[in-house]
Amino acid sequence: MRKEALIKMISEDARISKIQAKNSIEAILECVIESLQHNGKITFNGFGTFSISHRNERNGINPKTGEKIVIPARDVVVFKASKVLKTFIK
């Protein structure tokens, strides 16, 4: 699902305008990003948890050339689904 479809779905379900739905989604996403930057973790009960995980530097291989490369260390966003969400998916 794309953002536009989500906006339409929310505006219909909540009986609000598409502009209000778009502003709400953008505000939520902004808050999630800000929370990850400052706290490193945000939890939505019944949905899941977004957190930051550190990946160490590691060796890899360029698939095109076969050349060995070093993949630098970096932080990545990780999502862990809640038990409730997992039961809906199954």
The pLDDT tens digits for 69-83 are 999 999 999 999 999
Structure confidence by residue, pLDDT tens digits, 37-65:
998 899 999 999 999 999 999 999 999 99
What pLDDT is attached to residue 89?
87
d(C-alpha 66, C-alpha 25), whole Å: 43
Query: Cβ distance 47 to 56 under 8 Å?
Result: no
Percent of the chain whose pLDDT exceeds 90: 94
Predicted pLDDT at 29: 93
